[in-house]
Homo-oligomer: A and B are copies of this chain.
């Protein structure tokens, strides 16, 4: 995990960041599982099933990319998670205020 972090994050911030990631991942995963169970329940035709397949292809691509921190920086990942509603800024309390400001600004873009 450590090599994925920007070098300017303190070890306290790393602990907070990791916990926030895990929280966001849990929330997004649980929402996705609930949505799939609901979609699967109302499938009647093969076309409905292929729509579920397309939906899963897109969600898998999105989630695999978003929670893989190697290619990106934490600021951008957090901004995306806040924008999508999987985190709010309170989940990131303890992180340097200048970083929180960047995350907040990016999340509104």
Chain A residues in the interface with B (C-beta under 8 A):
29, 32-33, 36-37, 39-41, 43-44, 46, 49-50, 52-53, 56-57, 60, 63
Contact B49 A56 (CB under 8 A): yes
Pick from B37, B41, B53: contact of A43, CB under 8 Å: B37
- Additional A-B contacts beyond A33-B44, A46-B63 (19; CB < 8 A): A33-B43, A33-B46, A33-B49, A36-B40, A36-B43, A36-B49, A36-B52, A37-B40, A39-B40, A40-B40, A49-B56, A50-B56, A50-B60, A52-B56, A53-B56, A53-B57, A53-B60, A56-B56, A57-B57
Residues of the B chain whose Cβ atoms lie less than 8 Å from the Cβ of A57: 53, 57
The copy count of this chain in the complex is: 2
Whole-angstrom distance between the Cβ of A22 and the nearest chain B Cβ: 13
> What are 10 A-B contacts defined by CB distance under 8 Å?
A32-B46, A32-B49, A33-B43, A36-B43, A37-B40, A37-B41, A40-B40, A50-B56, A53-B53, A56-B56
